[in-house]
């Protein structure tokens, strides 16, 4: 047989718990009252910090690609570029994925793949060619190099990794573009 007061007991327990929590909160507020300071103990001079950080900051942007291509490893570039395969295809004549096919990209114009829905920013650069230097800048930070691009990739910040990827992309062509001297 069920106890007819079960619901009342549960409700009473909840009310007692809420009352105890309220009483504990009220008492703790009255017992502990922090004394606020009139001014900060630690003062930070932001002008000096900004001046020193700008003077010692490393140069922005990627290193020149030409010297790095001399010792670039296309096989290592292919491994690094696996992440690119999520959005791009690389084989001759393969269909585009989220991004265009990159076969023969070096030496081709921007927005090179017919029928692909490029961003307006990329279409505006259709008269420009993907050179080693141009690809280096783009792969370092796509959205900085071409504001408005649809490519959401953050970029390859390591200079040698980027050179390796570019060396590998160079091999993806019927007649690869000659390396710069």
**Residues contacting 32, CB < 8 A, separation 6+:** none
* C-alpha dist (Å) from residue 12 to 1, 22, 49: 21, 15, 59
pTM equals 0.66
One pLDDT digit (tens) per residue for the chain, 181 residues = 578 888 899 999 999 999 999 999 888 888 887 777 777 777 777 665 555 555 555 557 899 999 999 999 999 999 999 999 999 999 999 999 999 999 999 999 999 998 999 999 999 999 999 999 999 999 999 999 999 999 988 999 999 999 999 999 999 999 999 888 7
């Amino acid at each position: 047989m069920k106890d007819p007061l079960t619901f009342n007991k549960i409700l009473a327990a909840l009310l007692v718990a809420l009352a105890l929590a309220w009483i504990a909160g009220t008492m703790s507020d009255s017992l502990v009252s922090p004394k606020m300071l009139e001014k900060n103990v630690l003062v930070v001079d932001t002008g000096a910090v900004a001046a020193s950080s700008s003077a010692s900051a490393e140069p922005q942007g990627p290193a020149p690609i030409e010297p790095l291509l001399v010792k670039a490893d296309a096989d290592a570039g292919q491994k690094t570029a696996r992440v690119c395969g999520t959005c791009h295809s690389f084989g001759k004549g393969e269909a585009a994925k989220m991004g265009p096919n990159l076969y023969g990209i070096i030496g081709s114009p921007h927005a090179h793949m017919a029928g692909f829905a490029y961003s307006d920013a990329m279409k505006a650069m259709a008269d420009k060619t993907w050179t080693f230097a141009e690809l280096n800048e783009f792969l370092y930070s796509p959205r900085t190099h071409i504001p408005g691009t649809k490519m959401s990739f953050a970029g390859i910040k390591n200079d040698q990794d980027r050179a390796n990827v570019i060396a590998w992309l160079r091999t993806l062509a019927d007649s690869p573009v000659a390396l710069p001297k």
